[in-house]
């Protein structure tokens, strides 16, 4: 592939690299968990898979945009000057969803979720609030630097924000597929639940597009939201009826965003393009 051809296919190259960097770890983990491979692989390596999209974004940005492109990418990763209200939304709105889910769960079943479970993550010792830091660094910066930071603004260039989000949501959902073969909670759900999981990912992508476009393309804000959302929903405290209610609230939120801000930009600001 020539350099000119590579530049014309940057987005394709990004997706290929994002999958490759992550799946090169996940496929062996899945093979071990399914009994196809008899070797010892530290399952905590799972958390490195989240950095596949970030690595792909930096490599493809470097190829296509050089040092100037890298500086722009890093600048959007660190962009906190978006207004206090957006910072609060990014950090705390997932916690509000969790609280609403917990209250509704208590009304339905008469019991509260165990808050101490928020600090538990798969394959690692109890982390407490450190679990939020872990999720923000991995699912947050690791994923969002690629999905929203690199792919979304390029998909939005010749498409509406909603169309770009739906396309990105499909790629994002499929990227998770190997985890259904080794992550305990996803294995418990079963592969048959993947279509429903994929729908949830696409709906979540609508919220993240709204946040990304509304903050002028701040990767930091979507990373904080993603980290906070995983902190509550990927924990034992966010399972069962709390998970179901939280998912329904996200769906309602996404629908409201589409109705209020319209598919073209999914924001009060113009969609971010590169």
Indicate whether 88 belongs to any domain: yes
pLDDT the model gives residue 3: 52
Angle at which helix 194-214 crosses helix 219-233, to 10 degrees, equals 140
pLDDT the model gives residue 238: 85
Indicate whether 160 belongs to any domain: yes
Query: Do the beta carbons of residue 211 and residue 77 sit within 8 Å?
Result: no
Indicate whether 159 belongs to any domain: yes
Which is it for the CA torsion 92, 145, 80, 251, positive or negative? negative
Q: Tokens 């966010």 correspond to what residue? A: 238
Q: Based on the number of CB atoms within 10 Å of its own CB, is 68 exposed (0-12), middle (13-18) or buried (19 or more)? A: exposed
Indicate whether 135 belongs to any domain: yes
Residue 153's contacts (CB-CB under 8 Å, 6 or more residues apart) are 217, 271, 272, 273, 274
pLDDT the model gives residue 22: 98
Query: Do the beta carbons of residue 12 and residue 5 sit within 8 Å?
Result: no
Indicate whether 16 belongs to any domain: yes
Q: Give the chain's residues under pLDDT 50.
A: 4
Which residue in 106, 107, 123, 124 sits closest to 115, CA to CA? 106
Number of domains the chain is built from: 1
Indicate whether 271 belongs to any domain: no
Indicate whether 205 belongs to any domain: yes
pLDDT the model gives residue 101: 93
Indicate whether 272 belongs to any domain: no
- The pTM score is 0.95
Host domain of residue 113: 3-265
Please give the helix or strand (H or E) that residue 131 lies within, else none. helix 130-135
Query: Do the beta carbons of residue 53 and residue 142 sit within 8 Å?
Result: yes
pLDDT the model gives residue 4: 44
């Amino acid at each position: 592939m020539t350099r000119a051809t590579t530049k014309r296919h940057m987005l394709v190259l990004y997706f290929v690299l994002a999958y490759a960097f992550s799946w090169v770890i996940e496929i062996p983990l899945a093979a071990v968990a399914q009994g196809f491979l008899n070797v010892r692989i530290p399952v905590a390596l799972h958390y490195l898979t989240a950095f596949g999209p970030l690595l792909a974004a930096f490599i493809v940005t470097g190829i296509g945009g050089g040092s100037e492109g890298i500086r722009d990418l890093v600048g959007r990763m660190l962009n906190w000057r978006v207004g206090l209200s957006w910072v609060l939304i990014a950090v705390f709105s997932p916690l509000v969803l969790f609280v609403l889910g917990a209250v509704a769960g208590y009304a339905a079943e008469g019991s509260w979720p165990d808050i101490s479970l928020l600090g538990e993550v798969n394959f690692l010792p109890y982390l407490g609030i450190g679990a939020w830091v872990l999720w923000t660094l991995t699912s947050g910066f690791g994923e969002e630097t690629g999905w929203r930071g690199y792919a979304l603004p390029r998909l939005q260039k010749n498409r509406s924000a909603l169309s770009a989000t739906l396309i990105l949501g499909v790629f994002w959902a499929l990227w998770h597929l190997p985890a259904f073969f080794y992550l305990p909670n996803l294995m418990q759900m079963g592969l048959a639940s993947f279509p429903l999981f994929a729908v949830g990912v696409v709906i979540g992508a609508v919220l993240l597009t709204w946040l990304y476009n509304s903050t002028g393309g701040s990767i930091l804000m979507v990373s904080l939201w993603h980290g906070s959302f995983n902190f509550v929903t990927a924990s034992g405290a966010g399972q069962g009826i709390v998970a179901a209610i939280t998912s329904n609230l996200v769906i309602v939120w996404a629908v409201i965003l589409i109705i209020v801000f319209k598919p073209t930009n999914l924001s009060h600001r113009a969609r971010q393009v590169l």
